[in-house]
Structure 1
């Protein structure tokens, strides 16, 4: 990856120009650089301690790691911000295109409406009559021979009452004359708009036109138009004006929530702004450049820098909309300025979240610990050498020389500086983890809300469709006459426009199926459909009402009709407007693929994520993959399901399939007039989005960790020099003269016939030495592969290597602080045991290299207790 230098450190090219907008980066850069600077002073003093080379290596390693950490911090912030803007831009354009797809079907259906075709035919007849009598100046009838226009306008109003997404419906003659309009006061008498009249071109199923139109009194709108053909051959154009601004501004508000100072815009194919969530920042009509990764997703607009992401439509049922795009922008000064609130305090504790981070980011804390471990080993050796040079080690009752004390003080300061660096690294990584987890819970909450929003919008269309189609005069007349062929033709033509259904059917007043839309399912003809929804539909007397079945098998969906589904139904009025309906219409939603597509559209980008649609009882209605069987119950209880209010979203975590999963749960609250402000119902739907975090960590080792041993200062004349270390989370020590060096991690050669506690052989200064695992020997729990290695020597000169958990301090202690202790099981029963008390509750157990050598070699202990070395038991 190409790097450029900024502020004395290397950064990736895509984030280097953005550093000034990242205050979090400066929060960590300043202390890291300050601590790095401390090495300069320590290096000068280090010449006196003999550790100068080790310090230089450590300084270089920490400096390189600082560059990696800050670059990773910057890239993580950048990626999070871009992902947020990109995802919401994609949601905006895809929801719009799904919505507009329904409009293309609506205009095709309404273009076949009988009363509208009758008006078109009457206009043709009047024109012909006028031409025939033009020569003798005969009068042309002034009134419509078909129906009062007010009645037709009322019919259009009834349609729009069921579909509140329209603000104008108009029928135009082929020459652009307005024949009837829902709002005639807004529509010109003659609409001169060639774009709309293109709907009359052969093979043109519909046209979509955006911009100012005489149809809307000169106002701008998005209009869908389709050709209408009357029985006498007259042709006209039906126009539906969609409430684009009403739909998009509400969507913009929802998507901009939680993204400070953001702006969401809709752009045409030329990049001009059609709609904007904030006209004070990005005005209508402004030409707005797109931004991509090559530009760092940054653009300059009106003298202000923005982070910006664009998205084009993914497409729905083969439809991609008018060629528009959505773009979300956030002022650069705010894109990285607001630190996420701490929302994961009670969540994802004890979870291995390494899978959320890239390999480089995961390696940084490990590398910091490795550097610190090497530094600790170097300083250990430095402290031993400093005292050895002054003849101080092992000299009980002597006073430390000034040089030794100075060297040890200096090395302690070096160690403290290294520890501070390591802590800054770990704090930064921890904040990254918190930020990443916060982003995960935000993501599952947002995606679940998105999923239920898509579902609500889709089911809104289903509830409206059945009520629209029940008003079709052709269908009403076919049912009244019992004309199966005519009813089948109408249903088939409708089904060809609306491809999201498995089956459309009509049934008579006794519930018997009279016609179906799919010839392959003609076996349903004549059967009596059962269910509460059938009786409920036939009992309706209000054309604005409908019924919907429970999500259960009804014999109309899937193999042998055994799959659960949703059926929307309503009564079909009698054509003479009598009170008794002539039958009912039912539409079987093709839920399995349709719901699956909706849920997949709302899936987070992270691998392993899943989305489900569930009822309040936990029954699975749909899922994004086949792992979750439709009709079964979710395997874990979700207490919020039963009581979660409509339109509410909750997030949390659960253990599933051996992994901790973050989840977002969003309860349906309806859309527009569809199921709004309704009391909770068992069949309410909720979207559940799951995202795997990782396995639960075994925190038993953390619970066993003991506090650092803090020695008491010596108060008597007898002084012991001790070297401490930890084994199995317990503090142990040796007399410092017995410790020759701490060595770095090296390859241990196997020793097949060695005792169980001996790991193998290690080369040191030209000799092969046995490696004794103190964890295995003393506690029967072997240490890990990252054990620290100490080279020790007995009083007779035998050498061995001890594998310990981690290094502690090299310090002085008074002999009067030693306390005898009884021998513990598993240790040398004949050894005299001593404990050393510290400042806190921790006790340090003193070992002796001679005693350890005897335990390994099997040499018997001396018979005289006075000759026994100090050996303490845990």
Structure 2
């Protein structure tokens, strides 16, 4: 049955359509539904007793309000659980596809670079001339092996003739002698720089793989009419993705991550026992409540398409993450971690409806307190009247009063239990929202450093790949600067993440650069440890990297900090080093883009890339520039182990932020298992939570302390006290001086009255002055949500008091009273006493005669037309 346009009834309560089909999988919901419905049943019984006896106050409105709020609370709890679970899955599926696409973008550049390699073109020409030599083929195979030794993401490199014949292969045993694949032939199209093909292929002996292919022209550089061939690179897709899948599925019980093709078929899966390869898998979006039925099992599922990188969106694949519905909401929220404060203004973390629930709960509680106040005051007044008039024979009346008080106490207890359930549920909602932010900060920091690690892995490999380029080796050996410049420019056109590429001779002098606009560097003698380090390398598998510092090669003035990766360039005959190649990473925009890619869509979120020493390398936020010091102390930074992350909270610009800090651990063979160093990189993600609340502001008034509510010993003199809260302090009046608690109503302004007098209010046909006790006593008004109560002097004059919150009407022992040691200002002649509880708690007992004297003169002098009782 549907209520309105988007509510569905389940077990007698209305729920949003998106969560209604999932309620059976949410045990936490049942944890709150049962006690709330049980207490409402008890409420019905109490209301019936009250109607039968005529002793209880009308509770119909309160019961209806609690029932409506119960539906809203449980619906909000269900939607919050769903949002949290979907956020887990959606974020991880997005990360999976985006990291893959970033990785594949580098492959598109690699195949373009290697397709222009001189030895490949020479082998093509030799084949066309019928002069192919087995020695040349073996030399090229070794060259392939040298390239792959630096890029472990490839498992096969093949050079094919235009007719599909295998000319050279890294692994000849797995490559067919002739590869006839029309999909690969598409690389000969002049309009296509490369093709990417996935599926079974003769390049890999018939097994499935992801192949990047680009056309190779003969040494004459001819186009479609010249000598042509195909260079094919096989990317280790399964090796790459299964490792990523394992990392992303960690912490999400029984979850499965899959990679799907454009037709929705599963290409790769983290768990083939749950979701097998080749299975057709539908999307599950918000319209279906994120619910997916596969092979007779219900899953919560989220799917993500690639966000794109440098204009490249990959092969059109999508990532989908699934979690069995029975496990998606099964885990109870963990206890709040130590050190995470609760005194936060977290309104920004909740939507409007959720924020309104505690406000509505407080309103209902105020109305209940007012109703109970009036009922207890009436019962106690009747009892006192019976004592004063000597009506000892009215045993029935006394019994009725006792029953009424007992019933009201039971109503109060039930209402308090309802309030506690609501408060516990709301606190759990708040904790869940906060935990989601902290979890998100940790996850996003891990994501940010993972993206950085993978990106820098490519940079370390690029410089070593290009050092093997025969054209660059020959140009440096012969001093042919023009040829070197041409090669660098063609490489730079493929790899857009660099600010500058350059080669230098054995003296460290710049021979050629990739960007004509920076030709002023040619002839310059380079300085820095990275220069001598590159020239001193004797192993083609090694590289050096500068510290993140100015090198004179980056920025408008050449003095911005940057990372420079460099490798030695060997002589063409391999005899000695003839110079080096340096690549200047365009860190300012590239690092900023990486950090922003790792941030959630949350206002005020920021991410920084920092060193262990506390230097800012990059920032998503303009407040921090490269080279700045970290704006806050993070003790965990210096000792955090590689590949580990921590979360916590910090204060920045007057606001509390959740942070995640993740330390780099490298990627594949890049910086793995290296000892800690001051230059190690870490990602810091900061997500705003809210401002720190003033002391006492977060907890509210709370219930009346048990110190005042325990019954005094039998036979002792007693006093009935009506308690209330003002500025977080407990005050009270003798109950016999309190007439009633009022519903909220309009107060008539009184512009000439003192600040503590709010105005006038009508009660039982008379206009009464309204005194704000917060303003009077503490110079802090009680606010628009103040509770109103009518009190009466011994002479019968009445006034209205505005207080923060009503407490309880209780019996205290007269021996608990003691005179107040202080008489500040207005209280110099007042009868102020302190009521001592059982413990340190104290209640200040006022007297209505003193309060009346404060306003009586003003009323008589300035409002003679008003009748004051």
Fold conserved between structures, TM > 0.5: yes
Aligned residue in 2 for 1:212: 200
Aligned residue in 2 for 1:707: 705
Deviates more, 1:419-428 or 1:399-408: 399-408
Deviates more, 1:178-187 or 1:762-771: 762-771
Aligned residue in 2 for 1:346: 339
Deviates more, 1:84-93 or 1:757-766: 757-766
Aligned residue in 2 for 1:304: 297
Deviates more, 1:11-20 or 1:677-686: 677-686
Aligned residue in 1 for 2:865: none
| Alignment map for 1:542-553 (pairs within 5 Å) | 542-553=539-550
The 1:473/1:372 distance shift into structure 2, 3 A limit, reads same
The 1:778/1:178 distance shift into structure 2, 3 A limit, reads closer
Aligned residue in 1 for 2:230: 237
| Alignment map for 1:367-378 (pairs within 5 Å) | 367-378=360-371
Quote the offset at 1:773 in angstroms: 2.4
Which SS does the other structure have where 1:679 is aligned?
coil
| Alignment map for 1:653-664 (pairs within 5 Å) | 653-664=649-660
Aligned residue in 2 for 1:732: 731
Which SS does the other structure have where 1:410 is aligned?
helix
| Alignment map for 1:393-432 (pairs within 5 Å) | 395=388, 401-432=398-429
Deviates more, 1:478-487 or 1:52-61: 52-61
Which SS does the other structure have where 1:742 is aligned?
strand
Q: Is the 8 A contact 2:55 2:400 kept in 1?
A: no
Matched residues in 1 for 2:215 and 2:837: separation? 93
Q: Is the 8 A contact 2:646 2:661 kept in 1?
A: yes
Quote the offset at 1:516 in angstroms: 1.0
1:288 maps onto 2:285 in alignment: no
1:642 maps onto 2:638 in alignment: yes
Which SS does the other structure have where 2:172 is aligned?
coil
Aligned residue in 2 for 1:761: 760
> Deviations 1:67-103 (Å, cap 9, x if unpaired)?
0000000000111111111111111011001000111
Which residue, 373, 385, 407 being the options, matches 2:378? 385
Matched residues in 1 for 2:747 and 2:170: separation? 89
Which SS does the other structure have where 2:321 is aligned?
strand
Which SS does the other structure have where 1:377 is aligned?
helix
Deviates more, 1:620-629 or 1:220-229: 620-629
Aligned residue in 1 for 2:688: 692
Q: Is the 8 A contact 2:709 2:810 kept in 1?
A: no
1:191 maps onto 2:179 in alignment: yes
Quote the offset at 1:178 in angstroms: 0.6
Matched residues in 2 for 1:576 and 1:829: separation? 104
> Deviations 1:805-854 (Å, cap 9, x if unpaired)?
32233334555665556563435444555554544444444433223222
Quote the offset at 1:707 in angstroms: 3.1
Aligned residue in 2 for 1:272: 265
Matched residues in 1 for 2:214 and 2:775: separation? 84
Quote the offset at 1:588 in angstroms: 0.8
The 1:571/1:352 distance shift into structure 2, 3 A limit, reads same
Matched residues in 1 for 2:367 and 2:601: separation? 40
Aligned residue in 2 for 1:515: 512
Matched residues in 2 for 1:121 and 1:357: separation? 68
The 1:247/1:490 distance shift into structure 2, 3 A limit, reads same
Q: Is the 8 A contact 1:710 1:839 kept in 2?
A: no
Quote the offset at 1:714 in angstroms: 5.9
Matched residues in 2 for 1:704 and 1:644: separation? 39
Q: Is the 8 A contact 1:660 1:692 kept in 2?
A: yes
Matched residues in 1 for 2:699 and 2:59: separation? 34
Matched residues in 2 for 1:122 and 1:680: separation? 51
Quote the offset at 1:755 in angstroms: 3.3
Aligned residue in 1 for 2:117: 113
Matched residues in 2 for 1:661 and 1:263: separation? 32
Matched residues in 1 for 2:124 and 2:532: separation? 38
| Alignment map for 1:586-605 (pairs within 5 Å) | 586-605=582-601
Which SS does the other structure have where 1:197 is aligned?
helix
Deviates more, 1:760-769 or 1:320-329: 760-769
> Deviations 1:428-456 (Å, cap 9, x if unpaired)?
01111111111111111111111111111
User: TM-score, structure 1 length as denominator?
Assistant: 0.93
Matched residues in 2 for 1:600 and 1:381: separation? 59
Q: Is the 8 A contact 2:561 2:627 kept in 1?
A: yes
Matched residues in 2 for 1:142 and 1:105: separation? 28
| Alignment map for 1:753-792 (pairs within 5 Å) | 753-792=752-791
Which SS does the other structure have where 1:185 is aligned?
helix
Supply the RMSD in Å over aligned alpha carbons: 2.2
The 1:834/1:664 distance shift into structure 2, 3 A limit, reads closer
> Deviations 1:690-716 (Å, cap 9, x if unpaired)?
100101111145799783522543633
Flag structure 1 segments of 5+ consecutive residues without an equivalent. Answer: 127-140, 860-874
Matched residues in 2 for 1:320 and 1:833: separation? 77
Which SS does the other structure have where 2:385 is aligned?
coil
Aligned residue in 2 for 1:154: 142
Which residue, 629, 632, 645 being the options, matches 1:633? 629
Which residue, 549, 557, 573 being the options, matches 1:576? 573
Matched residues in 2 for 1:777 and 1:557: separation? 66
Q: Is the 8 A contact 2:57 2:375 kept in 1?
A: no
1:805 maps onto 2:793 in alignment: no
Superposition misfits of 4+ residues, deviation over 6 angstroms: 396-400, 702-706
Which residue, 518, 536, 542 being the options, matches 1:539? 536
| Alignment map for 1:480-499 (pairs within 5 Å) | 480-499=477-496
Deviates more, 1:261-270 or 1:477-486: 477-486
Aligned residue in 2 for 1:505: 502
Q: Is the 8 A contact 2:26 2:330 kept in 1?
A: yes
Aligned residue in 2 for 1:856: 855
Which SS does the other structure have where 1:38 is aligned?
helix
Quote the offset at 1:416 in angstroms: 1.2
Aligned residue in 2 for 1:613: 609
Deviates more, 1:697-706 or 1:277-286: 697-706
User: TM-score, structure 2 length as denominator?
Assistant: 0.93
Quote the offset at 1:415 in angstroms: 1.3
Quote the offset at 1:198 in angstroms: 2.0
The 1:333/1:704 distance shift into structure 2, 3 A limit, reads closer
Quote the offset at 1:535 in angstroms: 1.1
| Alignment map for 1:6-85 (pairs within 5 Å) | 6-47=10-51, 50=54, 54-85=58-89
Matched residues in 2 for 1:703 and 1:291: separation? 41
Which residue, 93, 97, 104 being the options, matches 2:97? 93
Matched residues in 2 for 1:566 and 1:430: separation? 47
> Deviations 1:333-384 (Å, cap 9, x if unpaired)?
1111112322434213322112111111111112111101111101111122
Matched residues in 2 for 1:303 and 1:354: separation? 41
Q: Is the 8 A contact 2:786 2:804 kept in 1?
A: yes
Which SS does the other structure have where 2:567 is aligned?
strand
Matched residues in 2 for 1:108 and 1:653: separation? 46
The 1:774/1:142 distance shift into structure 2, 3 A limit, reads closer
Q: Is the 8 A contact 2:709 2:812 kept in 1?
A: no
Matched residues in 2 for 1:271 and 1:800: separation? 74
Deviates more, 1:641-650 or 1:815-824: 815-824
Q: Is the 8 A contact 2:57 2:371 kept in 1?
A: no
1:826 maps onto 2:814 in alignment: no
Quote the offset at 1:315 in angstroms: 0.8
1:314 maps onto 2:310 in alignment: no
Matched residues in 1 for 2:755 and 2:45: separation? 48
**Number of aligned residues:** 842
Quote the offset at 1:727 in angstroms: 3.4
The 1:180/1:694 distance shift into structure 2, 3 A limit, reads same
Q: Is the 8 A contact 2:782 2:803 kept in 1?
A: yes
Which SS does the other structure have where 1:584 is aligned?
strand
Which SS does the other structure have where 1:575 is aligned?
coil
Matched residues in 1 for 2:81 and 2:813: separation? 53
The 1:51/1:313 distance shift into structure 2, 3 A limit, reads farther
Matched residues in 1 for 2:359 and 2:391: separation? 41
Quote the offset at 1:195 in angstroms: 1.3
Matched residues in 2 for 1:76 and 1:852: separation? 48
